[in-house]
Amino acid sequence: MGEELGVPLPPAPFGADTGASKRGFDGQSAKRCQSRLLENSEVAHSSLIGGSRRHAEEARITCAIVDAAARVRDLNFKYMQEGKGATVTARFDQDGITICDPNRASEGADKVFQCIYDKAI
C-alpha cells in the first residue's frame, strides 16, 4: 500500500534480508494475514458457534481497520522522515473510519479528514 501512494515503507527489521520482495511489513501483507486468520478462525470455531460462519461484513470491518492502521503508519513514517512529527491518526465512530491528517490543513478539511470506510464501527 505505501509505495504506490508515494509513501516510503519503514526500514526492514535488523538483520532482515532487504531485498525488494522481503522488505518487511506492508499493508497488503497485513490484509493477507488478517484474511487467513479469519479463515482459520472460522473453521476452528465453526463447531463452537453452531456451524455458522462469520458474516462477510465482519471481515470487511477488520480489513478496513487493518488498512487504516497501515495508512496511519505509512503517513507518520513519511512525516517523521520529513521532521514533521507523527500526527496522523484514525477515528473510529458512527461515521465509519476517518484518517485525520493535520499536516494537510492548508489543503482544506476534505484533505485533513478522509473517510476510508463509511459504515459505523
Is residue 79 a part of any domain in this protein?
Answer: yes
The three three-digit cell numbers of residue 84, written as one number: 514533521
What pTM value is reported for the model?
0.56
Is residue 105 a part of any domain in this protein?
Answer: yes
Per residue in 29-40, pLDDT tens? Answer: 666 666 766 666
pLDDT band (50, 70, 90) for residue 72: very high
C-alpha torsion 75→14→63→48, nearest 10: -150
Range of the domain at 75: 26-117
Q: Please give the tally of structural domains in the chain.
A: 1
Is residue 77 a part of any domain in this protein?
Answer: yes
Is residue 87 a part of any domain in this protein?
Answer: yes
Look over the chain and give the mean of its residue pLDDT values, rounded to a whole number.
75
Strand order in the sheet with 113-117: 89-93, 96-100, 113-117
Is residue 12 a part of any domain in this protein?
Answer: no
Is residue 13 a part of any domain in this protein?
Answer: no
Is residue 8 a part of any domain in this protein?
Answer: no
Is residue 1 a part of any domain in this protein?
Answer: no
Q: Write down the pLDDT at residue 44.
A: 52
